[in-house]
Structure 1
Amino acid sequence: MDATVDCWKILDLPARSDERSVKRQYAKLLKVTRPDENPVAFQQLREAYERALQLAREGDDGVGGDASLVQASAAPLVQRPAPVTRPVVRSAQEQAAELLETFDDTAVDQCWNEAIARGIESTVETLLFMRCAHTPDAYPNLLRWGLETRQWLTPWQQVRPREADQQRLGHLLSLGLYRRLEQCMADGEETRFIECLEHHSKQGWLGDLARRQTLHVQVLDLFLEHKNWSPALFQRIRQLFAWDTESAVVPIVDEQWHTLLRRCEEKKWVDELRARVREGEQHPNPRANAAALFLTGSSAERLQARVATFTEADWQACEELSEAFTTRFPDWARMFPDHNPWFWKALVGHESPQHVMKRACAGMTVTLALGMNGLHPAELPVMVIMSPILVLLGVLAAYMGKWLLDLWVAFTKSFYDIDQSVSAWCARHQLTRDRRFLVIRNSVPMLTVGFILWKWLGLLGVVTYVITLLIGKLPAGRAVPINRQYRWRRPLQAIYRIAGLSPLQWLFGIAMVVVIAYVQQNMPGTLLTQGS
């Protein structure tokens, strides 16, 4: 009687409680009475629970009272022996199912300690494994506990669930890991990607060859499907999976593997170009200018603005980049305008000689005047009178030359690429200042003018012409003003600018005119002043 009253008191329940109430109250008290903290109280709670459960099933409320008196008065005259009450023995499966009725994912250790105390830990672990095999997302703490503490899905696990359950759990784990990695890859969170992969690679369930092979294939699929990964991440993965050696066995076809390697090299190359551009912002250099041009895009306006200040060194750097893309990354032609890695050649353009008309007019006029230098001194007034006609003839000859030059320029468009190649070769060997000076287009007219001067003025005319051109290659001095208002303050500099000649060219030209005139007067018919 006292034991019965004590069991209801310990459970803090009324004496007539049913079996369901007893189980609920027991589960509630288990949260505050733990065997590792107070084993004596836990043992009392356990005994009270078993006694109360037995009484609830037998229909006895544990109180004698009037009911016992009624039963005693109604008893027959012949006393029958009382039946022997045998304790109810429940199987481990029943006890495990009862324990897991109130399972809490946040109190896995408490449930496990209770199972150990009852001696049913093997059965409980099997049921817990089956729960994770069917709904692993619902029990994240239990799944972590099973993988890390109980070594599930490894040769060292204590329980042996069905093979189908083990395969199901392994498949769900692989699928969940793949989804997390895919999300990290899509969001560009490479640090989380590698941390997640390294953490799971150390877990025992991936020690199985088939699961590890599946993981490798999944990671490679992510790299093939996405393009926003960095070469550094790919290199980390190669080191993690030992794919950075020549003898490495990669679980995809060779073509796909070489595609990934080539894509990684391309990304490294683009990163290097971007690094050059950043370096050029601090310290401008031809390689940085060329890299910026290749990364500008296909906008014609932006490309023209980028090459406006290019020099020969910049064009040579562009040539090196084009050769690199052509030989190393032929697939990258699609990123350039018109799918051509040599697109920049169309931006080079050409440079026409300055002051062509002015110099041609002056040259023809002087040539005609010197051609009439053989007149008798008495005829000099006639020459003075005819000087306007000479000037007019010089202008007409210059315009005729311009018309012929336009025809020549139109004709040279048919072999423009050849002219560009020749001009680039001359610029690389410093025969010309810049590849924009088209050698064939500009040299033929210059040679023609030189031939005419040789025929009209002889060797001295050709020497004057060539040396004047060479003097023009010298750096321009301060005698050529830029401001138009400044021009009229210094008339001499204004004349220099209008004619397009430097002071040295002017002095040399005047001196040679005097020399040619003197030779014509004193040595008529010589090859110095008369062509053959």
Structure 2
Amino acid sequence: MSHWQALGLTPDADERGIKRAYARLLKIHRPDENPAEFQRLREAYEASLAEARWRAQADDHVVYAPSAIVTPSVMTFQRDESPTPAGSVDHLDIATSLRPPEPSLEQIRQWLVEGQDRQVMNALRVWLASEWLLPFERRQQFEHNVLDWLESAQGWSPAFFEGVCELMGWDEAQGKLPCEYWRWSPLVRRCEVHALAETVRRDLARFEEGKVHGLAAAMLFLPMTDRRRREMADSLSDLDWQRFSELAQTIEYQYPEVAQDLGLQPLSNWRDWLPPAGYPGVYLFLWLALSGVLIASLLAGPIEKVSLVSTILMPLFMLFVSWIGSKAYGVWSMVAVAVGALDVLLSRSLIPRRWYREGAGLLLLRHVLPSAVPAAFACIWSYDVLWLRWVSPILVFLGTIYFMNDALSGSRISWWGRALRALKSGVGRLPWHRLRSQGLLAVIAVAVMAVIVYVRMKVVV
């Protein structure tokens, strides 16, 4: 293979075409990756460049002095006294390598610091096309300089960084990096942080324009009163809440620098604002508590009133009552949302701060007042048992408040949730999620209470 074929050129290629082909192939055959191929490429480049320059010099002699005869006067001699044409490769390489191209490296760095991206890109193109960077050592040093500038400068955009990588031939996917990955990774992270910050800025600007778009970013970053944030939270859709949760988690766990770039403080208790998936703990507690009140009132009363059938029907009846109560609470919640401003005003004054949580926790009209309804039923169903009439309403009310507050606590795990997890891990492979979802636990609880009452009746008789 000739040196022209190695460069992918024809023998009539000029000096400019040879340099372009060499610069293109130099990105493929790097000396640190394939020294043998690089050496062959370098030899082919030098041979082709020498031949092209000699041919150009010969053409000049023919044009300007057609009758001239080459004499020793137009020859130069090296120390070994071997004749070499006056325009040889060594002579021209020394002449063209004396001065680096303009603008200077210091000027390029200054432009980068000042944020003049276009000037920097144009200057990089000039340097990469110059003969000054043809030696591998100079090219490597130049890439390290550019890398140092990017690390020290602030404010460049991901688009600018992508353009520099494309111009310099850096490609992480192909493993063509100018440095180790531990040094490259922070630059990529800066691009990701900058991109996320720009996205949040754009969403906040869209929210300021129409109050319709960018709700997740506004909910997380914009300072608001408790009433305003509560109103916004009640108006968010499921998709908005999903975006809000993803954005908050991304900033908290991956890119906390985004808040600093924006100059805004994200919502500290953002988990408390996430809507509850439901109130299973509240309904389960009310069913067990009210069923226990009914059965306790029967046990504390005359024995003649107690029967196995009534004992079994009471908890089943409470299942129906709990279902009716959940529907009624859904209607009441819509009413409470409509008067949310008044609810926040009263709750901020009457509910403890750790339960109120800046409007994200318990609210007086929405949560506390409905909790008094099952407490009233517990008092009524206690019949003539004096101690039960005083104890049961308090226990039912406080228990409802506790489990309601637990449901509004976002991703926090309550003590009974941790106990359930421990129970699951202790018993092994029992499908507790199926038992809970299918209501089998409720049936088991009813059967246990029925057996207790039945045994008590037998003992008395």
TM-score interval w.r.t. the shorter chain? Answer: 0.3 to 0.5
Asked which structure has the greater CA Rg, the reply is 1
TM (norm. structure 1) is 0.35
Higher RCO, 1 vs 2 (CA within 8 Å, ≥6 residues apart): 2
